[in-house]
Structure 1
Amino acid sequence: MKKYFQSIAYIIFIAVTFFAIITAIKSYENPFSLYEHPLVWIALIGLISVVVLKEALNVVAQQKAEQLQMEKEGIKPEDVDNWAWAKKIINKWTEAKAVEEEDEIILDHNYDGIKELDNNLPPWWLYMFYATIIFGAIYLVRYHVLGADNQEMEYANAVAEAKRELAAFKSNSPEAVIDAETAIVLTSDSDLSRGKAVYNLNCAACHIADGGGGIGPNLTDQYWILGGGMKNIFNTVSNGGRDGKGMVAWNKTLKPADIQKVASYIISLQGTTPAKPKPPQGDLYVEEGQNNVTENSVEEQPKDSIQ
C-alpha cells in the first residue's frame, strides 16, 4: 500500500510542477531569466532532480532484485558479463571473427609466411557506403535534373528575405534606425524640448546655453566648420569633430533619436541673438535648393565642437 501512495504522490508532483512551469513560460516575457524569475529555475531543477532520483532508485531496486534472483539460482554475480549486450552489438556491426575462428576465413595466399584473411566488409561501413550512393542519386536528381536552388541561389534568396525583414523593421521601428541619412528636422514642442534638455546637459558647457559659442563655435550664425543642415550636424554630433580638435563622438552616449532631437534644437537656434556671440568660424552654409553660395573660410579658432 505504501508503494501506491508513493507512486501517486510522485505523479501528482510531476504533473503540478510541469503545469506550473508551462504556465510560467507562457505568462512571463523572459521566463528563463535567472535574475527576474529564479522560481522557474528552481522548479525546473527540482523537477529534473526528482525524476533523476526516482529513476536511480528504480535502477538500484532492479539491480538488487537481479542479485537476489541470481543467488536463488546459484549464479555468482562476478561470473555475469554485464557488457555482453554491448559486445553483441559490436560483433553484429563489425562481423569480426575471434582469433580462434580465423582458420575458417584464412586464404591460400602465402607471402613469406604472411597469410591473408577473407574478412567481410564491416556492416557499419557498408551501410554508410550505400547511404552515400543514395544521397548522390537524390542530389543529382534534385539539383541537376529538377533544378532546385543551389548554394548561390539560396544565398541570394536569404539576402532578399533579410532585406525585406529589415525594411519591415524600419517601417515599424523608425527610431531604431535613425542615422544621418534618415534623420529629419523635428519641429514639435516635445521634440525640441527634449533636444534642449540634451543640449543643456551635454553641449552648453562648450557652446553656451544660448548657442553663442565658448570653447566651441557659435551655433546661431550660418558659418559651419563641418557643414550645417540636419545631415551634417547629426553626423558631427554622432561622430565628433575633426581629429585632434573639437568634441568627442556622442554616438556611444546618446541614442540616435536624441541626436536627431538635439540636432533639430541646434537648427532652431539659427537666426537667434545670443548675449555674447562668438565670431564666425568655417564656411557659409546654404541648404540645397537655395542659392549655392560658399564664401572663403573664416579664420578658425584653435578648438571647435559641433560645427
Structure 2
Amino acid sequence: MKRIFQSILYIVFVFVSFWAIIKAVLAYENPFSLYENPLVWILITFLGLVILAKEYFSFTIQKIAEDLKMEKEGIIPEEVDEWAWLKKQYKRWTKSRELEEEGEIILDHNYDGIKELDNVLPPWWVYLFYATIVFGVVYLIRFHIAGGDTQEMEYEKAMAKAKYEMEEYKQKTPNAFDIEKVALSTDPADLRRGKAVFNLNCASCHVRDGGGKIGPNLTDEYWILGGGFNNVFNTIYKGGRDGKGMVAWKGVLKPEDIQKVASYVISLGGTTPAKPKKPEGEIWTEE
C-alpha cells in the first residue's frame, strides 16, 4: 500500500510540474526564450533531477531484490549474463548462426579453399526494404497520381503567403517604412535630420560640406556607383564595392534616417565645398 501511495504521489508530482512548465511558457506573449527566463530553467532542471533520482533508486532496489532472489535460489549473480536479452535480440534481428552451426549452411562451392555460407538476409534489412517499397508506393500516389505539391510548388505557395502577409501588415501599419517605395524628401525637417546624421557618421570620410576626404566628393557631377537619389540610397544602405569603399549602414542606421541622409546628400549637389576633392568616377546624368 505504501509503494502504491508513493507511485501515485510521484505521478501527480510529474504531471503538476509539466503542467506548471507549460503554463509558464504559454504565459509569455513574445517568443519564449529559456535564456531570458532562468526560473523555468531551474524548474526543468529540478524536475529532471527528481525523475533521474527516482529511476536510479528504483533500478538499484530492483537490482538488490533480484540479487537476493538469485542468492536464495543458489544462483551466483556474478555468473549471470546481464546482456543475454540483448544478445538474443541481436541474434533475432540478424539471424546469425554460431560458428559451430555454420556447417549446416555451408555451400559446396569452393574457390581456392574459400567456401560460401548460405546466410539468409537479415530481418532488419528485409523490413527496411519493405519500408522503401511502401514509401515508393505512397510517393507515387501522392505526387504522380493525386497531384500533390512538389518542392517548387510548396516554395511558390510559401512565397505567395509571405507576400500576402507582408501586404496585410503594411495595410495594418500604414506608417511603416517601405524600403521598396523610398523616395527623395525635400522637407526641411527631414534635411535637417539627414544633415545631423551625416555629420555624425559620414563627415569623417566625406567632410561636413561633402567635399570629400577619404570618400569621394559628393557635390560634383561625378559618381562612382551612380548618382541620383535611388543610387545614393542603395549605396548607403547596402554599402559600396566588395572589399573596398563604404560599408553597408543598414545594420547601423534606420531606413528612415538613411532616406534622409540620401536626400541631404542630393541637396549638396552643385554647392561649393571649401576643399573639394578631385573628381572620381564618371559623370552621371538623370535619365
- Superposed pair shares fold, TM > 0.5: yes
SS of corresponding position for 2:150: helix
Give the partner amino acid of 1:248. Answer: M
**Hey, what's the Cα distance between the residues in 2 that align with 1:243 and 1:54?**
60
Q: Aligned match of 2:221 in 214, 219, 224?
A: 224
Deviates more, 1:66-75 or 1:123-132: 123-132
Give the partner amino acid of 2:199. Answer: N
**Hey, what's the Cα distance between the residues in 1 that align with 2:119 and 2:205?**
87
* 1:262-273 matched pairs, under 5 angstroms: 262-268=261-267
Q: Aligned match of 1:167 in 150, 163, 166?
A: 163
Q: Deviations over 1:252-272 (max 9, x none)?
A: 64343321121123345668x
**Hey, what's the Cα distance between the residues in 2 that align with 1:15 and 1:244?**
58
**Hey, what's the Cα distance between the residues in 2 that align with 1:59 and 1:218?**
78
Contact preservation (8 Å) 1:195, 1:265? yes
**Hey, what's the Cα distance between the residues in 2 that align with 1:183 and 1:70?**
83
- TM norm structure 2: 0.71
Contact preservation (8 Å) 2:95, 2:120? yes
- TM norm structure 1: 0.67
Number of positions where the alignment pairs a residue of Structure 1 with one of Structure 2: 273
Instruction: Give the % identical residues.
Output: 49
Where structure 1 has 5 or more consecutive residues not aligned to the other structure, the ranges are 289-307
Give the partner amino acid of 2:222. Answer: I
2:62 maps to 62
Q: Deviations over 1:19-70 (max 9, x none)?
A: 3321221123343342x22222222111111111111111111111111222
State which structure, 1 or 2, has the greater radius of gyration over its C-alpha atoms: 1
Contact preservation (8 Å) 1:217, 1:280? yes
* 1:164-243 matched pairs, under 5 angstroms: 164-168=160-164, 171=167, 172=169, 178=179, 182-187=181-186, 191-204=190-203, 211=209, 213=211, 215=213, 217=217, 219=219, 223-226=220-223, 227-238=226-237
SS of corresponding position for 1:230: helix
Give the partner amino acid of 1:224. Answer: E
Change (3 A) 1:218 1:84: closer
Contact preservation (8 Å) 1:196, 1:262? yes
Contact preservation (8 Å) 2:143, 2:150? no
Q: CA RMSD in A?
A: 4.2
Give the partner amino acid of 2:14. Answer: I
Change (3 A) 1:19 1:235: same
Where structure 2 has 5 or more consecutive residues not aligned to the other structure, the ranges are none
Q: Deviations over 1:143-182 (max 9, x none)?
A: 55x2745xxx72432442353255346543796873xx64
Question: Per-residue deviation at 1:231?
Answer: 1.0
1:154 maps to 150
**Hey, what's the Cα distance between the residues in 2 that align with 1:200 and 1:114?**
86
Contact preservation (8 Å) 1:21, 1:43? yes
SS of corresponding position for 1:46: helix
